[in-house]
Chains A and B, each alone.
Chain A
Amino acid sequence: MAEIIFIGLSLSSILLLVALGLAITYGAMGVINMAHGELVMAGAYVTVLSGIWLHLNIIAAIPLAFLVTALIGYLIERLVVRRLYGRLLDTLLATWGVAILIQQAVRLEFGLSFFGRHIAGLGVGLQNVTVPEALTGAITIGGVQVNAFRAFIIGVTVVLTFATWLLMYRSSFGVQVRAIMRNPNMAAACGINVQRVNALTFAYGSGLAGVAGVMMSGFKTVFPDMGTPMVVDGFLVVAAGGVGSLLGTILSAGLLGQINGIVASVTNDILARAMVFAVVILIIVLKPRGLFSYRGR
């Protein structure tokens, strides 16, 4: 039983890792960033490339991936999202296009493959990330044998969640973000540089995706399409949790992860996945604003 709970916890942490960035870009800014999965993928490729070219291990790749994907996110905000703040559903379509572009950029090695140049670590194939010995195999915590890398992911997720909470609820930057979230015009009138804060918020959310990518790379396989299913899971988590509520996202990730884990162990994985979809639909139907919502009324 303890193992099942641990697996559920691990599933939750993976969901949360991906959803955390979305909770920022979608939850706080309302941008439906379909390229979020591709940012996760980009983070994973940063890990692959930094392993091959810089001989960095997976832990050292975390800050690097954060910076790279934050930069990509910043560019997406400046070039695409910024023009769409009036029509947020359109961000879904535009960023879907961006997602295709990022995928193709990796697959075509930024176009170099046309010139017969190959960069090790890019291209259509599956990539391999070496995980440090300490993070492979199982460790025993309180008599329960658990997967070391999963435990590591849970740790990283906790740290990131706490950092995000600090940033959003305990920093002046967070105050500005939340002010914009409620009323951008009023925030601007209060002297907040809305454009700059938006760009930085988006970059931060994207950076979180990058860190998620690093974690995924040591766990799953790395390839250009890896992000698409993740973005779907991420949106389901954020929507079920309640838009704009960090706590809601955390709880909904926890709930969905445990449901998945328990149903999978009692019956099978297919049913578990179907159950997760069904629960999300049910939550939204019963509580259209999600489990938690910042709008009181």
Chain B
Amino acid sequence: MNTTRRSILKASALSAAGTLASPYFFHRTAQAADVIKVGVLFSQTGGLSIIEKSLADATLMAISEINATGGVLGKQIQPIVEDGASDPKTFNEKASKLVIQDKVPTVFACYTSASRKAVLPVFERRANLLFYPTYYEGFECSKNVVYTGAVPNQQLSNFIPWIIKTLGKKKFFIVGSNYIYPREMAKVCKVLIEQNGGQWVADEYLELGDSEWGSMVNKIKSSGCDVVLSNVVGDSVVAFYREFKNQGLSHAKLPICATVTSEIEIAAMGPEYAVGSFTSFPYFMAIDTDANKQFVERYRAFVKNPKAVTHHALESSYFQVFLWKQAVAKAGEAMPIPIRNAVMGQEFNAPNGHVKIEPANLHTWLTPRIAEWQADGQGKIIDTYPAPIMPLPYVAYGETEKNLFCTGKGLDTAKLKG
């Protein structure tokens, strides 16, 4: 069965070679009978593997849990794991391999926006489906991506008012790594700060991956701010918090309020440097529910590391597989576009609570939370939004729940201009 299909494929490739191969040519011949193949594409090597390996692990764990309960549509899910090697070129190449050669109906992939941007053309041109688990800057309205991480409004719309009203801090020093996400977060922050009666005194960036914070912290010291809003990512975070303390600053007087600092970075810097600082995320390892505690236990057992930490993107990597499974079950077939259509409006009880895919923009309803970091490296959750809030990827341009920019019809660019 399989072999004949392959020879047909070859023959058709031969005939297609001379002319232009039609982009959607091979889709219908995708699946073997007994398994559903899916792609899992994260960096297993290179600098980003620090975090991405844990995302791949969480994805694989979800797949194995689904398989243990009978799979989906009576079939087992077979993950095809590839290595993005922390390099957008490799991501692009491996995504093509998964989509075109392996003909998977869905790929769970990518941590950074840069890698997502590099694989995007593959999914859009080949009408395939990407599940993307990371919080990101927004401004994307692809019909071929399901976004299960937070967008700026889900991290900031409760955070900034809380900083101003509850913490009583008014003068913000905004600092970030120099790339899109921190810059867009800064943009949204500024809007929210002004709306809530605060002010920002500076908006500064450091090269991504640079960990020389001496000058920056010195600037923070002399800027007269009373709160630091950090959109710093990756290993830079560690050096930042250490420099902060070592230049004699304290979170009690001048707290760092971060949008990216997660359990991973806290563990790497040593919790003593972060005690008293804050982070806003929809998920924290410390969420005090049985569902989450069990999730953490299962994850630690799965990766055979009793000290492994969980974090927001990891949790999204996990629950998005279940959303996908529900969509496949609803669609009744494992094909990209039917899955995409079926995933709209899917709901699931994730470790962080209730999540739902917004049908209009394929982003996820999430519950914003604020945590204060403790000496044990865990966040103490001190503020939880009463309910999940709607994802607004274009919030920086005034997108509201009533006035969506990205809908099933695509992006309404006229609204962007306004």
Q: Do chains A and B touch in the complex (CB under 8 A)?
A: yes
Interface size for B (C-beta < 8 A) is: 39
Query: C-beta contact mask, B13-50 vs A, less than 8 Å → 1, else 0?
Result: 00000000000000000000000000000000111011
**8 Å CB interface, B202-229 against A:** 204-207, 209-212, 214-216, 218-219, 221
Query: C-beta contact mask, B52-76 vs A, less than 8 Å → 1, else 0?
Result: 0100000000000000000000000
User: Closest CB of chain A to B128's CB: distance in Å?
Assistant: 28
Residues of B with C-beta under 8 A to A3: 218, 221
A50 interface hit (Cβ, 8 Å): no
**8 Å CB interface, B109-131 against A:** none
A19 interface hit (Cβ, 8 Å): no
Residues of B with C-beta under 8 A to A136: 245-246
Given A7-B218, A126-B264, A148-B246, are A220 and B50 also a contact pair (CB < 8 Å)?
no
A107 interface hit (Cβ, 8 Å): yes
Q: Which size class do A's interface residues fall under? A: 35 or more
Q: Verify A226–B235 contact, CB threshold 8 A.
A: yes
User: Closest CB of chain B to A146's CB: distance in Å?
Assistant: 8
Residues of A with C-beta under 8 A to B265: 126
Q: Verify B246–A147 contact, CB threshold 8 A.
A: yes
Q: How far is the CA of A225 from the CA of B49 in the complex (A)?
A: 10
Q: How far is the CA of A226 from the CA of B50 in the complex (A)?
A: 12
A36 interface hit (Cβ, 8 Å): no
Q: Verify B269–A118 contact, CB threshold 8 A.
A: no
Chain A residue, CB-CB nearest to B250? A137
Residues of B with C-beta under 8 A to A264: 214-216
Stretch at the interface among A76-84, A89-97, A267-275: A267-275
Residues of B with C-beta under 8 A to A86: none
Residues of B with C-beta under 8 A to A125: 50, 264, 268
Q: Verify B304–A118 contact, CB threshold 8 A.
A: yes
Q: Verify A147–B50 contact, CB threshold 8 A.
A: no
Stretch at the interface among B150-158, B236-244, B364-372, B379-387: B236-244
Q: Verify B305–A118 contact, CB threshold 8 A.
A: yes
B329 interface hit (Cβ, 8 Å): no
B178 interface hit (Cβ, 8 Å): yes
Chain A residue, CB-CB nearest to B267? A128
B270 interface hit (Cβ, 8 Å): yes
Q: How far is the CA of A131 from the CA of B272 in the complex (A)?
A: 10
Residues of B with C-beta under 8 A to A219: 211, 239, 242
Q: Verify A223–B47 contact, CB threshold 8 A.
A: yes
A4 interface hit (Cβ, 8 Å): yes
Contact among A128, A148, A269 with B269 in the assembled complex (CB-CB below 8 Å): A128
Q: Verify B207–A221 contact, CB threshold 8 A.
A: no
Q: How far is the CA of A222 from the CA of B243 in the complex (A)?
A: 15
Q: Verify A221–B246 contact, CB threshold 8 A.
A: no
Residues of B with C-beta under 8 A to A220: 211, 235, 238-239, 242
User: Closest CB of chain A to B276's CB: distance in Å?
Assistant: 15
Q: Verify A261–B246 contact, CB threshold 8 A.
A: no
Contact among B47, B50, B210 with A269 in the assembled complex (CB-CB below 8 Å): B210
Given A147-B243, A273-B207, are A137 and B218 also a contact pair (CB < 8 Å)?
no
Q: Verify B207–A270 contact, CB threshold 8 A.
A: yes
Q: Verify A261–B215 contact, CB threshold 8 A.
A: yes
Q: How far is the CA of A4 from the CA of B214 in the complex (A)?
A: 9
A11 interface hit (Cβ, 8 Å): yes
Q: Verify B205–A270 contact, CB threshold 8 A.
A: yes
Q: How far is the CA of A128 from the CA of B50 in the complex (A)?
A: 13
B195 interface hit (Cβ, 8 Å): no
User: Closest CB of chain A to B250's CB: distance in Å?
Assistant: 9
Q: How far is the CA of A223 from the CA of B46 in the complex (A)?
A: 10
Q: Verify A127–B215 contact, CB threshold 8 A.
A: no
User: Closest CB of chain A to B252's CB: distance in Å?
Assistant: 14
Given A136-B246, A147-B247, A220-B238, are A116 and B50 also a contact pair (CB < 8 Å)?
no
A265 interface hit (Cβ, 8 Å): yes
**8 Å CB interface, A123-147 against B:** 124-131, 136-138, 145, 147
User: Closest CB of chain A to B274's CB: distance in Å?
Assistant: 11
Q: Verify A116–B304 contact, CB threshold 8 A.
A: yes
Q: Verify B304–A269 contact, CB threshold 8 A.
A: no
Chain B residue, CB-CB nearest to A228? B47
**8 Å CB interface, B257-306 against A:** 264-265, 267-270, 304-305
Q: Verify A138–B247 contact, CB threshold 8 A.
A: yes
User: Closest CB of chain B to A57's CB: distance in Å?
Assistant: 13
Contact among A126, A225, A272 with B215 in the assembled complex (CB-CB below 8 Å): A272
Of the candidates A10, A124, A137, A138, the one having the most CB atoms from chain B within 10 angstroms of its own CB is: A124
Residues of B with C-beta under 8 A to A296: none
Of the candidates A3, A126, A131, the one having the most CB atoms from chain B within 10 angstroms of its own CB is: A126
User: Closest CB of chain B to A20's CB: distance in Å?
Assistant: 18
Residues of B with C-beta under 8 A to A147: 214, 243, 246-248
A149 interface hit (Cβ, 8 Å): yes
Given A125-B268, A226-B235, are A145 and B247 also a contact pair (CB < 8 Å)?
yes
Residues of B with C-beta under 8 A to A129: 270
Chain A residue, CB-CB nearest to B221? A3
Contact among A124, A150, A222 with B49 in the assembled complex (CB-CB below 8 Å): A124
User: Closest CB of chain A to B84's CB: distance in Å?
Assistant: 14
Residues of B with C-beta under 8 A to A191: none
Q: Verify B268–A138 contact, CB threshold 8 A.
A: no
Residues of A with C-beta under 8 A to B49: 107, 124
Q: Verify A269–B264 contact, CB threshold 8 A.
A: no
Residues of A with C-beta under 8 A to B307: 120
User: Closest CB of chain A to B206's CB: distance in Å?
Assistant: 5
Q: How far is the CA of A118 from the CA of B239 in the complex (A)?
A: 26
Q: Verify B248–A137 contact, CB threshold 8 A.
A: yes
* A to B CB contacts below 8 Å, 14 in the list: A107-B49, A128-B269, A137-B245, A147-B214, A147-B243, A148-B246, A221-B268, A225-B46, A229-B210, A264-B216, A268-B205, A269-B205, A269-B207, A273-B207
A-B pairs with lowest CB-CB distance, top 10: A138-B248, A126-B268, A264-B215, A221-B238, A7-B214, A225-B47, A147-B246, A220-B211, A221-B235, A220-B239
Query: Residues on A close to B: CB < 8 A?
Result: 3-4, 7, 10-11, 14, 104, 107, 116, 118, 120, 124-131, 136-138, 145, 147-150, 219-223, 225-226, 229, 260-261, 264-265, 268-270, 272-273
Q: Apart from A118-B304, A220-B238, A225-B46, list 13 A-B contacts with CB within 8 A.
A: A124-B49, A124-B50, A131-B270, A137-B246, A145-B248, A150-B246, A219-B239, A220-B239, A222-B268, A260-B212, A264-B215, A268-B205, A270-B205
